[in-house]
Amino acid sequence: MSKAWELLVPKMKALADLKSALMLLHWDQLVMMPSGGGEARGRILATLRGIAHDRLGDPELGDLLAQLAEDASLDADERASVRVLRRDHERAARVPNDLVRAIAEQSTITYGRWTEARRASDFAQLEAELGKLVDLKKAEADALGWERERYEALLDEYEPGMTAAELENMFGDLVSGLQPIVDTATEGAGPRPAFLVGDYDPAKQDMLCRRLVTMIGFDFAAGRFDTAPHPFTAGVAPGDVRQTTRYRRDEPFPALYAAMHETGHALYEQGLPEAFNHLPIRRAPSGGVHESQSRLWENHVGRSRGFVDYLFPHLKELFSAELDAVTSEDLYRAVCHPRRSLCRVEADELTYNLHIVLRFELELAMFRDELATADLPDAWDAAMEKYVGVRPLDHSDGVLQDMHWCIGMFGYFPTYSLGDIYAAALWETVEQQLGSLDTELRVGDTSRLLEWLRENIHQQGYRYEAKELIERVTGKPPSPHPLLRYLRSKYSDLFGFGAGT
Ligand code: ZN
C-alpha cells in the first residue's frame, strides 16, 4: 500500500464521520427535535459544516490528492476514491469561507421569509430576500468556475458531469413525447375515483406501510421508519439508514407511495458495499441515480398491475368499509389516475415531469440573467400553462409551492426527472435480462429485482459517473425514450382511446 494512501485513510474517515454527524443532526431536526431547539441547532449545524468545509478544502489534502492522482500502485476503487474526493476538495477550496457563511445565513433568512410569503400567498414578501440569495448563488457559481453555462457550476453539485445542453435536449424530447400521451390519457381517465379520499385511520396506514417496506426488503435492524413533515431518507452511517413518511387521515395513498419511494432510497443506502465504508465512493454518483431507485420502486413496482394485485387484499383487510365496492382493477386505475394539477408533489406519474421541466427552464433563465427574480411569478404562471395546461389562481399554488430555491438549491430539480429517465432505462434492462416480473410482483416477491439492483447499482457506489454507470448497465447512454415507451404503453392500455369511462 502506498504511503500517501495510508496518510489519506484517516482523513477520509474523519470526513465520513463529520458527514454522518451532520446527517444525524439534520434528521433529528426534522423528526425529533422540540421546536425550542431550532435556534441552537442552526448554530450547531453551521459550526460543524464550517469544520467539514475547512477540512475538505485543506491545501494539505489537495497536495496529497494531487500526489495520489499520479500513483500507479492504487487499485480501481482507490483511484475512483481519489478522483471523487479531489473533485469535492477542489469545489470546497474554490469557494471562500465568508461566501459559504453568507449563503448559509441568507438561506435561513430566505427560507423563513418563504414560509410567511407562502402563508400569505404573496411573492412580493419574498422577492427581495430571494433576489439576494440568487445573487450569492451566482457569486458561488463564478467562484466555482464554469465554461459554457454558469448554471452548470451549480448543477454539478447534484448531477456531476451533466450539461445544460444535454438536459435541454433530453427534456425537449421528453415534453414533446409526453404531451400527446397526457392529452389522450387525461381525457380518457375521466373524474378522479371517489375512494382516493375518505376516512383512513393513520394508525392502520402506518401498520400497512411497515408491512410493505419490510416485505420489499427494508432492514429494520439497520434502519428506522418514522414520520416527518416532508418524507425523506437519511443515510446516516453504515448500518443506520432512516426513512420517513407522513400520514393524512383523508388520503392513504400519498403515504403509501411515499413509503415505497423512500424505501427505494433506503434500499440503495443499505445496499452500498461494506468494503467502501469510509471511502468517498460510498454514495450514489448523483442525485438522479439516487432518485432512479426511489422512482423505480414507487412507480415501476408500486404502480404496476401485478403489485397492485398483491397490495389489494392488504388494503381491503384494513379498510373494508372504505373500499367495499372497489376491485383490484379499480385500485390500479386509481393509483395511476392522471390529471393536470398545480402541485408538483401531488402530481401523478404521467404529468410529474412537466412540473420539473418548467422549473428547470426558469432556473436556467435566472442564471443566464434572462429572468429577474421580480418576474418569476408571471414566468411561472405562463410556463405552467404551457407545460401542464393549468394556471395557478394564486402564488401559494404557483411559484411559492416549493422550498428548494429558498434554501439555495438551484440545479437540483433536474435530478427528479433524470431519476425517472434512469429508472425507466433500468427497468427496461431488468425486463430484458430477467423477463417480466409481473407474476412474482403479484405475490409480493421482489427478491430477484432487489438482487439485480444490488449487483448492478447499489454495489457499484460511486465507482463511475452517473452517465457511465447507466450506459454500462443498460448498454446505452441515458435518453428519455425508455420512459416515453413505458408511459405510452401503460397509459394507452389504461386510458387510451375507447378505454375511458
Ligand atoms: Zn426521492
CB 293 within 8 A of CB 417: no
Q: Is the predicted pLDDT of residue 236 greater than 90, yes or no? A: yes
Please give the share of the chain, as a percent, with pLDDT higher than 90. Answer: 92
Provide the 8-state DSSP code for 193. P
Among 312, 301, 314, CA closest to 447: 301
CA of 11 to the centre of ligand 1 (A): 30
Question: For residue 375, which amino acid is it?
Answer: D
SS3 322: coil
Q: d(Cα 4, Cα 26) in Å, to the nearest integer? A: 33
**d(CA 270, ligand 1 centre) in Å:** 15
| Host H or E run for residue 46 | helix 38-57
**Separation in Å, CA 106 to CA 360, 396, 406:** 22, 21, 9
As a whole number of angstroms, the distance between CA 262 and CA 284 comes to 15
Cα-to-centroid distance, 327 and ligand 1 (Å):
30
Cα–ligand 1 centroid distance for 458 (angstroms): 16
Q: What is the pLDDT of residue 497?
A: 58
- The answer to whether the beta carbons of residues 212 and 317 sit under 8 Å apart is no
Q: What is the pLDDT of residue 388?
A: 96
The whole-angstrom separation of Cα 159 and Cα 167 is 11
pLDDT on residue 501: 39
For the chain, what is the total number of helices (H) and then of strands (E)? 20, 3
- Containing H/E element for 235? strand 233-237
Positive or negative CA dihedral for 418, 419, 422, 424? Answer: negative
The Cα angle at residue 340 between residues 339 and 342, in degrees rounded to 5: 125
Q: Which of 69, 70, 93, 62 is nearest to 83 (CA)?
A: 69
Q: What is the pLDDT of residue 1?
A: 72
Helix (H, G, I), strand (E, B) or coil at 240: strand
Other C-beta atoms closer than 10 Å to the C-beta of 268 total 27
**1 CA from centroid of ligand 1 (Å):** 38
Residue 39, pLDDT score? 83
| Report field, pTM of the whole predicted structure over 0.85 | yes
Whether the pLDDT of residue 498 is over 90: the answer is: no
Continuous H helices in 190-252: 202-215
10 Å CB burial of residue 87 (0-12, 13-18, 19+) is middle
**Pseudo-torsion of CA 383, 123, 255, 200, nearest 10°?**
-110
C-alpha to C-alpha distance for 482 and 470, rounded to whole angstroms:
13
pLDDT tens per residue across span 306-330: 999 999 999 999 999 999 999 999 9
Q: How far is CA 206 from the centre of its chain?
A: 23
2 alpha carbon to ligand 1 midpoint, in Å?
A: 39
Q: What is the mean pLDDT of residues 442-469?
A: 98
User: Given pLDDT bands bounded at 50, 70 and 90, which one contains residue 500?
Assistant: very low
Distance between CA atoms of 7 and 66, rounded to whole angstroms? 13
For residue 41, what pLDDT band results from cuts at 50, 70 and 90?
A: confident
Q: Ligand 1 centre and the CA of 207: distance in Å?
A: 22
Candidate list 140, 262, 361, 440, residue with the active-site label: 262
Q: CA–CA separation, 348 vs 343, rounded Å? A: 10
pLDDT averaged over the chain?
95
**Sheet-wide strand order for 240-245:** 223-227, 240-245, 233-237
191-217 average pLDDT score: 96
Cell matching residue 183: 392529452
With a cut of 60, say whether residue 96 has pLDDT above it.
Answer: yes
Distance between terminal CA atoms of the chain?
Answer: 68
How far, in Å, from the CA of 290 to the mean position of ligand 1? 7
Distance 264 CA to ligand 1 centre (A): 8
| Ligand 1 mean position, distance from CA 62 (Å) | 33
Q: Residue 475: left if φ>0, alpha if ψ -120 to 50, beta else—which one? A: left
pLDDT at 499 over 50: no
The amino acid present at 390, given as its one-letter code, is V
Q: What digits encode the pLDDT tens for the residues 252-272?
A: 999 999 999 999 999 999 999
For CA atoms 22, 26, 31, 33, give the dihedral sign.
positive
C-alpha cell at 88: 469535492
Q: How far is the CA of 278 from the centre of ligand 1 (A)?
A: 24
| Structure confidence at residue 409 as a pLDDT band (50, 70, 90) | very high
Quote the CA–CA distance of 467 and 501 in Å, as a whole number.
Answer: 42
39 is catalytic: no
Burial class of residue 154 (count of CB atoms within 10 Å of its CB; 0-12, 13-18, 19+): buried
Q: Which of 150, 121, 465, 91 is nearest to 289 (CA)?
A: 465
CA atoms of 165 and 168, how far apart (whole Å):
5
3-state SS, one letter per residue, for 246-273: CCECCECHHHHHHHHHHHHHHHHHHHCC
User: With the C-alpha atoms ordered 57, 62, 65, 70, is the resulting torsion angle positive or negative?
Assistant: positive
pLDDT digits (tens, 9 = 90+) for 77-87: 999 999 999 99
pLDDT at residue 33, rounded to an integer? 93
Identify residue 405 by its one-letter amino acid code.
Answer: W
E strands, 238-395, are 240-245
Predicted pLDDT at 230: 87
Per-residue pLDDT at 489 exceeds 90: yes
Q: What is the CA radius of gyration of the chain?
A: 23
Q: Is the pLDDT of residue 202 over 50?
A: yes
For 40, 41, 116, 227, the CA distances from 35, given in Å and listed in that order, are 10, 10, 17, 16
**For 108-122, 124-138, 164-178, which range has the lowest pLDDT when averaged over its residues?**
108-122
Grade residue 297 by pLDDT with cuts at 50, 70 and 90: very high
In sequence order, the 6+-apart residues with CB closer than 8 A to the CB of 426 are 292, 296, 453, 456, 457, 470, 473, 474
CA of 59 to the centre of ligand 1 (A): 35
**Residue 144: what pLDDT?**
98
What residues contact 6, with CB distance under 8 A and at least 6 apart?
none
CA 265 to ligand 1 centroid distance, Å:
7
Whether the Cβ atoms of residue 151 and residue 164 lie closer than 8 Å to each other:
yes
Mean pLDDT calculated for residue range 455-464:
98
CA of 497 from ligand 1 middle (Å) equals 32
